[in-house]
């Protein structure tokens, strides 16, 4: 019986498509803030510390440094207040949960960017 309820609930809730990201990636989360009767979009740019859960309870944590102080924010994937997610940089890390970033600051807190192979016009002609 509960599987039928879950199926109907899944069909009725609109699914937003977000870019595929993982821990170590630098993203910008644009989310809606409602103050009284006004609504505005605020962005939170930082590194993904962790992704956890699955289904409707899945969340991800983003950490940024604001005025020398680390700020972490937890976002549910299914939140109606998330307007969009922009993937800025793909990080190269060896772990799924980057809690060690909390103790780091300055240059040691940097996450290396994953280098991607980019096809140039010259290499495309060679293959043809």
pLDDT of amino acid 4: 77
pLDDT of amino acid 125: 63
pTM of the model: 0.76
Identify the CA nearest to 14 among candidates 62, 73, 61, 82: 82
Domain locations in the chain as residue ranges:
3-109
Q: Is 121 left (phi over 0), alpha (psi -120 to 50) or beta?
A: alpha
At the second CATH level, the architecture of 3-109 is Roll (2.30)
d(CA 101, CA 89): 17
* 3-state SS, one letter per residue, for 2-18: HHHHHHHHHHHCCCCCC
pLDDT along the chain (128 residues), means of 10: 72 75 94 93 95 91 91 92 93 92 87 82 62
């Amino acid at each position: 019986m509960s599987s039928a309820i879950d199926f109907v609930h899944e069909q009725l809730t609109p699914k937003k498509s977000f870019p595929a990201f993982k821990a170590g990636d630098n993203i910008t989360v644009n989310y809606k803030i409602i103050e009284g009767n006004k609504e505005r979009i605020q962005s939170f740019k930082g590194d993904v510390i962790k992704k956890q859960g699955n289904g409707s309870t899945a969340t991800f944590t983003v950490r940024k440094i604001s005025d020398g102080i680390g700020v972490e924010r937890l976002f549910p994937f299914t939140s109606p207040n998330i307007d969009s997610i922009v993937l800025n940089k793909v990080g190269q890390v060896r772990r799924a949960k980057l809690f060690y970033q909390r103790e780091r600051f300055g240059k040691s807190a940097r996450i290396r960017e994953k280098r991607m192979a980019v096809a140039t016009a010259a290499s495309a002609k060679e293959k043809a």
